[in-house]
Amino acid sequence: MEEITWNDFEKVELRAGTILEVIDYPEARKPAYKVKVDFGEFGIKMSSAQITALYTKEELIGQQIVGVVNFPKKQIGKFMSEFLVTGFADENGNIVLTTLNGKVPDGSKMI
């Protein structure tokens, strides 16, 4: 494992955002949703997430998640991702979203 400095970590904008909308993404190579997330002062951003195995669209609405908002936009098929959804793979390889245990203002930075 490569060590990084505190300054390196501070460059990563890990921000809290609330999921506003979840859309099927049938064109994706692996099953995925498109998610629209409100990051407060950083705006409303879209991304795709391979989270269909563990989450329904309905249960995702209103959840606060953690996203990286300062990566450049990335083309994923015909879709332009504006942030990175964060999560962890479970024992079956399904993605478990990084969520918050309590409510914080959208756009709050992980410290």
The residue written with tokens 């399904």 in the block is 94
pLDDT digit string, tens, across residues 29-57: 899 999 999 999 999 999 999 999 999 99
State the Cα angle at 14 between 76 and 19, rounded to 5°.
Answer: 65
pTM reported for the whole predicted model: 0.94
Averaged pLDDT score across all residues of the chain = 96
Q: What totals of helices (H) and strands (E) does the chain contain, helices first? A: 2, 9
The residues spanned by each domain of the chain are 8-97
Average pLDDT of span 59-69: 98
CATH node for 8-97: 2.40.50.140
